[in-house]
Structure 1
């Protein structure tokens, strides 16, 4: 795609298929550009969260922080899939050019997520107070266990808020205005960066560090709620009626996304907990460092591919098959090339990078880095393909694939970590992922997938 051609302020004429395609690319191009700023700031937070805190936290406390922070991904399914369903729902309503219908969809969806967030936040707080932390994170220090529990209680409240703010992001994705989300996220990350620096200077504990990262970034998204109100896309006075009218549809659509998120939790989100339970929090620190290194590949590609979900959904709603086919081909090829090049460069420069980054406090085995590099390439391609599947609403098939993936990957990870150590996590994930996804999408579900690129819907 000619990026500069689409970086214009005025909209394209959407009365023709070519014009609609150009407008989708224009919005996606601005989203990519804004995402560069957002992810750049987020990556700075990620880098400094290691270099600023490991010297005084040590590997064990840092590992506990990373374990608790990983719960955000692991527990995302508690949103019942409503956030993901909201993206497609808003895109579909937006295509009908009915302002009242669109406002009802947004108000109802966000109202439902607010209720879910309140219930989930309270429930997780009670769970954090009750859980046997000594068994979960394999630590004997009573003070450290108390600190971990305090951080987990704060996480529970922040996670409840995060479910709601994630819904706001989904609304903007459905409206193909993700660039506004990314600009606000960049601002939040910059504030987080400053707060993290001050917290590290005071050698702050885990709850404060959690507040400066997850808390600051979640709160910043609330600014976007004001934009929705200003544009008359969210009405607080209509929220009760809208929730009643939209809940059944969103739960029905979100049910499949819910299963996908549960699968994600089982397949990927539980990694830190599996490692911590079997090998201790210090091992989590090692694995987290390896993962975070290769986020320099995954995050930029996420910038490129994330806006395409809304674009695919809009094209699917309007039957623009040529756009779907062309965009999928370009995104997959570009993702493969960038991921392969980036992972290779990071792997061969990892020794120097990690020594500078951690100050020699954490040593990561070369074999582990190599396996994570390979998994990074596969993961990036999978995410690019998932944007297409989500946008054209091929969700049932994803549920089947993810369910089969989880049936095999979880027991193999638990057994593998106990037998082979950390290398089992990327090795098992990569092997099972490749076998299940290539077989089902390449053969079993290929006719269904092909239909979205050959038949006018």
Structure 2
């Protein structure tokens, strides 16, 4: 039995997951507090249509944040390997190369989006229903663009924390950001009832918390402080190419199901319908957070276990994740379908009294499929199979976009959610579990070194 295959390593992984889950409860409580208190206040102060403009801004600008995720898994895998091997030079190279690579990408993304905002009329981008609302939409877009460019860069810190098995630190700083955002929105929106301020209140507080997390990471792990002399082009190429594969596989789901579908809803139904669609996106993010609190620390731990040859531990961790995530999704769907028609209008106000059980049932089908795919994505990343996601995910996302657009056009938002759920369960929901199971059964082969 290899020397690295030790009880101490298993205990360290288990401790990191337990601590991450415990701190995640704190983070998720603050997230729920933010959503439960701030969103109804914002809706009542701004109205459903203005809240729909805020949702449009967030969905539009969040596209560039999603691009960062692709570099994350490759960086986390590489950092985990370097730490396991005690390779300080590799840790310096990974930290510096990733930082300057993301800085360049964020600057380019900001330049492209800024050019679009300057040259393309907003009603052309978002639909004729937004004519006359440019005065509220344009300042919010420019304000959000500045914040999201900076968020793009500091989000890299969370991936480095994962490589160090320090997800708990991400959770604690996330909780701080959520609490600050809840206070800012709850108090400030009454004095500055503008869409741009809502963008600052929600996202600015999170940016400040992530900056603090970055500073704390650099103080604890000075090896990852960025320096140009440690930038390695070969490593940047690997991070970028692996990032393209992962972004194409995983980020495209968010772009299609949140951004593209939200854009379609806006063009067909206007700001009020986008507001309704945005509520369900919020519910998805809020509920998925309880699954993410286990999946986020689990997949780096699985990657670390496989790098040491501990397949038994990896299989047990995957089983635990699937049972928890799948069970949570089903229970949540049943509860929301049964009590949602009374609870949601009470929470959101009379503007959302049209939410009925059919709409909720269709959404819940999508939510179950969404969670199931998330679990499989996490384990595909943990088992080092990012590249194998590409083809099936492209087929699925293209099918969601085409069939979802048709369903929305003929039968509205309920049909859109139902169609997305069926497509997801039929494709990645069926094929990916087999890939994960096969990888966990194989004899361990060391993951390739970043930039080698």
TM-score when normalising by structure 2: 0.91
CA distance in 1 between counterparts of 2:277 and 2:167 reads 31
CA distance in 2 between counterparts of 1:171 and 1:355 reads 41
Correspondence for 2:81 among 83, 86, 92: 92
Correspondence for 1:421 among 407, 412, 415: 412
List aligned pairs for 1:82-121, cutoff 5 A: 82-121=71-110
Quote the offset at 1:332 in angstroms: 0.6
1:359 corresponding residue in structure 2: 349
Quote the offset at 1:83 in angstroms: 2.9
Whether contact under 8 Å (1:45, 1:193) holds in the other structure is yes
Quote the offset at 1:370 in angstroms: 0.9
CA gap of 1:92–1:51, structure 2 versus 1, over 3 A, is: same
List aligned pairs for 1:33-182, cutoff 5 A: 33-79=22-68, 81-138=70-127, 144-182=133-171
CA distance in 2 between counterparts of 1:375 and 1:203 reads 36
CA gap of 1:194–1:143, structure 2 versus 1, over 3 A, is: farther
1:258 corresponding residue in structure 2: 247
CA distance in 2 between counterparts of 1:74 and 1:93 reads 31
1:194 corresponding residue in structure 2: 183
Correspondence for 1:285 among 275, 281, 305: 275
**Which piece of structure 1 moves more, 334-343 or 204-213?**
334-343
TM-score when normalising by structure 1: 0.90
* Residues 348-376 of structure 1: per-residue CA shift (max 9 Å, x gap): 12123212211222132321111111222
Quote the offset at 1:316 in angstroms: 2.1
Quote the offset at 1:79 in angstroms: 3.4
C-alpha RMSD over aligned residues: 2.2
Correspondence for 1:344 among 322, 329, 334: 334
CA distance in 2 between counterparts of 1:164 and 1:397 reads 27
CA gap of 1:451–1:405, structure 2 versus 1, over 3 A, is: same
2:414 equivalent to 1:432: no
2:335 equivalent to 1:334: no
CA gap of 1:27–1:448, structure 2 versus 1, over 3 A, is: closer
CA gap of 1:243–1:58, structure 2 versus 1, over 3 A, is: farther
CA distance in 1 between counterparts of 2:406 and 2:278 reads 20
2:444 corresponding residue in structure 1: 456
Q: How many residues align?
A: 440
**Which piece of structure 1 moves more, 447-456 or 29-38?**
447-456
**Which piece of structure 1 moves more, 293-302 or 248-257?**
293-302
- Mark the runs of 5 or more structure 2 residues left unpaired by the alignment: 446-452
Whether contact under 8 Å (1:176, 1:307) holds in the other structure is yes
Whether contact under 8 Å (1:347, 1:369) holds in the other structure is yes
CA distance in 1 between counterparts of 2:15 and 2:42 reads 40
2:304 equivalent to 1:311: no
Whether contact under 8 Å (2:122, 2:130) holds in the other structure is no
List aligned pairs for 1:371-450, cutoff 5 A: 371-441=362-432, 446=434, 449-450=437-438
- Please state whether the residue corresponding to 2:351 is helix, strand or coil: coil
* Residues 258-281 of structure 1: per-residue CA shift (max 9 Å, x gap): 312452223443221111011111
CA gap of 1:371–1:217, structure 2 versus 1, over 3 A, is: same
* Residues 159-191 of structure 1: per-residue CA shift (max 9 Å, x gap): 211111211111111111011011111111111
CA distance in 1 between counterparts of 2:183 and 2:435 reads 51
- Mark the runs of 5 or more structure 1 residues left unpaired by the alignment: 1-13
CA distance in 2 between counterparts of 1:395 and 1:140 reads 40
CA gap of 1:141–1:302, structure 2 versus 1, over 3 A, is: closer
Quote the offset at 1:249 in angstroms: 2.2
